[in-house]
Chains A and B, each alone.
Chain A
Amino acid sequence: MMRVFWTIVAKELISFLRSWGLLAVVLYALTLDVYIAGAGMQIKPRNVAIGYVDHTGGGISRKILSRLHGPEFVPPQRFLSQKALSDAIFNKKILVGILFDEDFEKDYRQGNTAVMNVLLDATAASQSFTTLGYLQSIIMDFSKIDFPVTVKSHKLFNENADNHTFMALSEMLSVITMLSILLPAMVFVKEKEEGTWDIMLLMPIDAKLTILAKSFSQVIIIMVGTIICVGFVLFGSFDISMNGSFWAFVLLTFFYIFTTAGIGLFVAAVSKSILQVAQLSMIIMMPLIFLSGAWTPVYAMHPVLEKLSLISPLRYYIEGCESIFYRGTAFIDLWPYFAGVLVLGSLLYWYGFRKIGKLF
């Protein structure tokens, strides 16, 4: 029994290691792709091009502009008319334009409300609106309102307020989801495509054992990939601190992969070719990821979607992983996430198992 099980597992592992293309894709997805997602994400302004039109003759306007410097901003560029500035923004040469009209300095000196017009390219929303935030605090600094409250913030869980680690983690979890649907589906559909399906069925072996061994082999591959990803990318490149138990993470991941492998089995049961597997996986995976809170926090969703998100196993997995990595939640307190993954997981795996079992 066990010998047959491990023979099938070994066969699938050898096949995987010898398919260079597939191996490369899996390695890429779990290393470079996660790295790019983390490193490439910029919320803070960087190298923002600013243009201005100054009809005041200097003074206050110069003082404001002198505060816009690198690395966030490139030195502001002067335009002679508002039209020239608008054109530059239209042509994507300038992201934020500032207009100081003739009355600006006069109003300021006289104690009236001076108006500084700001033109924003709102297509680059996050960069231009953060720039607006910068400008507002610069002006606050100038006006020195007498209001004796100061805000002192304390950053919890992600002390460096670092978006990279967060993005990298989310990307890794999404990649795990993708692979753990695709790979288990592919080991079955490959047999269909290459005409070895009948040979597989003709082995004098319990169908359950075959299905279990084949999906288990892929779980091993993804587990190894995940550990590589955590070690090299999350710890190595982004220096994420692991506040909770590493083994809790490994265990949760293991259960989660079986959950999505269940979806993979379903996909394998209804697909005839690898191409169909890819298409179907995409269709199933997208709502799973959208509903999980990986890209939009769950509390910000429409109430209906918020309820629906309860059936996305990825939601429990992501929340569980964030708790382990950032909050350092004790093992025993992780039970809601484990329960969510396990309940949905057993349902999905059971369904997929039955579905593909009918083909045997």
Chain B
Amino acid sequence: MFDLELKNVTVHYKDIVAINNASLEAKHGEIIGFIGADGAGKSSLMHAIAGVGRFKGEIIYEGTDYHSPKEAERIKENIGLMPQGIGLVLYETLTVGEHLEFFAAIRNLKKNNDFFTYKNKLLQMAGLLHFVDREAGKLSGGMMQKLSLICTLLHRPKLLILDEPTTGVDPLSRMELWEILDDIRSSEGTIILVSTAYMQEAAKMDKILLFDEGEIIAGGSSPELIDSVRKYTYEEVSCDNDKVCFSFDKRSYALYPLAAKYAEPTLDALFFVNALQKKHTLPTMEIGERQSTVTIPKVVMEAKALTKQFGDFVANDHIDMQLQSAQIVGLLGANGAGKTTFIKMLLGLYPIDEGELYLLGKPILSGNDRRELKAQIGYVSQHFALYKEMTVRENLLYFARMHAIGTETALRRIEKYASALGYLQYMDALPGELPLGINQRFSITAALLHEPVILFLDEPTSGVDTIARAQFWQILEMLKVKWGISILITTHYMSEAEYCDRVVLLKEGVKVADEYVDELYRQHPHAKNFEEIFLEYYQ
């Protein structure tokens, strides 16, 4: 007998089927992971189970069946739902303590000794015991997510539904979130349904469900799933031109035998193999030679003792960094470690309080220097912010004009990128209508049109699915090799840090590491992956 059962659950939005005929079973104390691309139907199914969205089919929780949000009211006191997005359930101007009071009040909880013990235990686990009087708006992203989680846990739900609770959260906070979940699962016997974009997290769960285009296409434990794609995974080789295969991260994937040794797959392989099986063409990204001939010196940008203060708070404390040509540097750190501030100083968006910044050997001092700096750099922001009232073509043309590129040259370059990066058919669509992965590719185009010498990328892969992420890294690799430009990227995916050449680690505004990736592995011989190296610096 299962404690939670879904029978043929379907969710429609007008004509669009968000999730079709999904079934699943779960027992108390199980953690079930939902993985899949954006828009694959994970959130829709979660909302249906939580009883906040209409659906067809049947859901049975501990013998109580429900078919609509109204019927689900009967079991709502057992459900805890944490929607997607950092701090979405929080109120910026309420303190941590007031939040707990508020959630206890709306859940009508009895304030007996039991409640206070449990509340303190939650605060303790979340590491918020000393921040009870801090307003939620002043917490870091990781702390906000922990606060959201303990607010959701306050009424001791037996069915906990978490929609991407760790997206955009640094590895340390992510680990702490998982410790809380593990503890709750064993002490309270809660069923936990959690969606995630981090495959390393998914690997730890009891059962994983793989979502694709509104269907659950595979389910099982992590080893089972990995076994299922083992026969398609090889060590990296170049693919035949006429046959479909896909290479990424030292591995090649193909449905037919390749002339190479088998390699140990990761959960990411599920996505590649699935795409191959559905005969989705995975267009190979191609970046042409750059048109302007600029000799890029070895040191492209150099920051010397850059410091930024906001009042008493030192956001960046004397940070030195060199960005070299043909090198990808990963800038890592927990939420609030000062990455964004640092990038903004490099971009010339923040005045520098102390220290010096050199671009191509020239110091950046005046406003004029800063403008010249801006003409030499490309920037892709976190949300691929582009103008949503203008079509892709109009957007790109606008950026080209702003960089004083002639219309003809601009149109030629735009056309070239569009076909090389595979979004030619979307040129006349508005950005809001397109998937995140496509938006990501054309915002990279916007940053490359003027052929910069440095490319800054601020969490460019947050919320983008595995395949789009892999293709994105292929583009970066090509830019590095063909253009010889310098790339600085921030990310929360520690697996991505391994694709970088060099890694700079910030902690509380101070640089704690600046090393080549293989050098870091040498210094931390016990670390199995980059996540562990990161945590060693932070603990």
Q: Footprint of B on A, CB under 8 Å?
A: 3-4, 7-8, 11, 14-15, 18-19, 194-196, 198-199, 201-206
Contact = CB atoms under 8 A, between A and B. Distances in A.
Contact of B371 (A8, A195, A204): A204
- A-B complex: 4 closest residue pairs judged by Cβ atoms: A204-B375, A195-B385, A15-B389, A204-B374
Contact of B389 (A19, A198, A202): A19
Contacts of B371: 204-206
A206 B374 CA distance: 11
Given A4-B401, A11-B398, A199 B385 contact: yes
A336 to B, nearest CB: 40
Contacts of B386: 196, 199
Given A202-B374, A204-B403, A11 B387 contact: yes
A284 to B, nearest CB: 25
Report which residue of B386, B389, B390, B403 has the largest number of chain A beta carbons within 10 angstroms of its beta carbon. Answer: B389
B182 interface: no
A19 B379 CA distance: 27
B168 to A, nearest CB: 14
A145 to B, nearest CB: 72
Interface of B: 344, 347-349, 371-372, 374-375, 377, 379, 381-383, 385-390, 394, 398, 401-404
B289 to A, nearest CB: 23
Given A4-B404, A195-B383, A204-B371, 10 more contacts: A3-B401, A4-B401, A4-B402, A11-B398, A194-B385, A195-B381, A198-B385, A202-B348, A204-B372, A204-B374
Contacts of A14: 389-390, 394
11 contacts: A8-B402, A14-B394, A19-B389, A195-B381, A196-B387, A198-B344, A201-B349, A202-B349, A203-B403, A204-B374, A204-B402
B374 A194 contact: no
A15 B381 CA distance: 21
Contact of B385 (A11, A19, A196): A196
Contacts of B383: 195
A202 B350 CA distance: 11
A195 B462 CA distance: 15
A307 B348 CA distance: 46
B399 to A, nearest CB: 8
A11 B379 contact: no
Nearest to A203: B402
A15 B374 contact: no
Nearest to A11: B398
A203 B374 contact: yes
Contacts of B404: 3-4
A195 B388 CA distance: 11
A198 B347 CA distance: 10
B349 A198 contact: yes
A276 to B, nearest CB: 14
A231 B449 CA distance: 45
Report which residue of A7, A11, A199 has the largest number of chain B beta carbons within 10 angstroms of its beta carbon. Answer: A199
Report which residue of A8, A14, A19, A206 has the largest number of chain B beta carbons within 10 angstroms of its beta carbon. Answer: A14
Given A202-B349, A204-B371, A7 B402 contact: yes
Contact of A7 (B349, B372, B389, B401): B401
Contacts of B402: 4, 7-8, 203-205
Nearest to B348: A202
Contacts of A11: 387, 390, 394, 398
Nearest to B394: A14
Contacts of A205: 371, 402
A205 B379 CA distance: 15
Contacts of A4: 401-402, 404
B390 A198 contact: no
A7 B402 CA distance: 8
Nearest to B407: A3
B485 to A, nearest CB: 17
Nearest to A3: B401
A14 B379 CA distance: 24
Nearest to B446: A199
A16 to B, nearest CB: 8
A198 B381 contact: yes
B523 to A, nearest CB: 35
A15 B385 contact: no
Nearest to B430: A18
A202 B370 CA distance: 10
A359 to B, nearest CB: 10
A196 B398 CA distance: 13
A36 B193 CA distance: 57
Contacts of B403: 203-204
Given A3-B401, A203-B374, A204-B403, A198 B379 contact: yes
Contact of B390 (A15, A199, A201, A203): A15
Contacts of B375: 204
Contacts of B344: 198
A204 B376 CA distance: 9
A123 to B, nearest CB: 43
Nearest to B398: A11
Contacts of A196: 385-387
A203 B374 CA distance: 6
A203 B372 CA distance: 10
Contacts of A199: 379, 381, 385-386
A14 B402 CA distance: 16
Nearest to A19: B389
B191 to A, nearest CB: 36
Contacts of B382: 195
Contacts of A8: 402
A15 B382 CA distance: 22
Nearest to A199: B385
B453 to A, nearest CB: 13
A199 B395 CA distance: 12
Contacts of B394: 11, 14
Contacts of B385: 194-196, 198-199
A199 B349 CA distance: 10
